[in-house]
Amino acid sequence: MSGNLKSLDELKSALKRHQRLIGVDLGSKTIGLALSDVSLSIASPLETIKRTKFAADATRLLALAAEHDAGGLVVGLPLNMDGTEGPRCQSTRAFIRNLEKLTALPIAFWDERMSTQAVTRTLLDADASRARRAELVDKMAAAYILQGALDRLKKL
């Protein structure tokens, strides 16, 4: 693994006491973000960044990480259903390679298969309007991704 890329176990070891993690759901048009609590138990939706240029997107992401004293990032890796990597994974990995040049924060990937579908289903069950779903789905998908990683961390 390259410099900042860590396994989930290594990411946990790199955190200082009371540091949070930020979950990242990287889409082509938006970046959903979620934030853990300091005990690394609960993930909460944080913000959705409308994608523009890499520099602006990375600046906002890293500013939020600093503002919330995040000690690392958990990035959803959009694997195909059979576990292989396709073009979306390549795009995610390219974004993270560029982000690594701008930060020392440790970064771990987490399998995000079905996260957006699960969140959309939950919002539909809650009878959320189409506009409300569009507003929430990315940051809730990031929370879903981060919560999966936090649950796994508890078992490590």
Q: What is the pLDDT of residues 18-71, one digit of tens each?
A: 999 999 999 889 999 999 999 999 999 999 999 999 999 999 999 999 999 999
pLDDT at 121: 75
Give 132 or 6, the one with higher predicted confidence: 6
pLDDT band at residue 2 using 50, 70 and 90 as cut-offs: low
What is the average pLDDT value for the chain, to the nearest integer?
89
User: Which tokens in the block code for residue 108?
Assistant: 């771990």
135-146 as b/e: b if 16+ CB within 10 A = ebbbbbbbbbbb
> What mean pLDDT do residues 116-138 have?
72
Specify whether the CB–CB gap between 47 and 64 falls below 8 A: yes
Helix (H, G, I), strand (E, B) or coil at 118: helix
Percent of the chain with pLDDT over 90: 63
Strands (E), the chain: 20-26, 30-36, 43-50, 70-77, 107-111
Tokens of residue 96, six digits:
């993270």
pLDDT of residue 102: 96
Strands (E), 13-58: 20-26, 30-36, 43-50
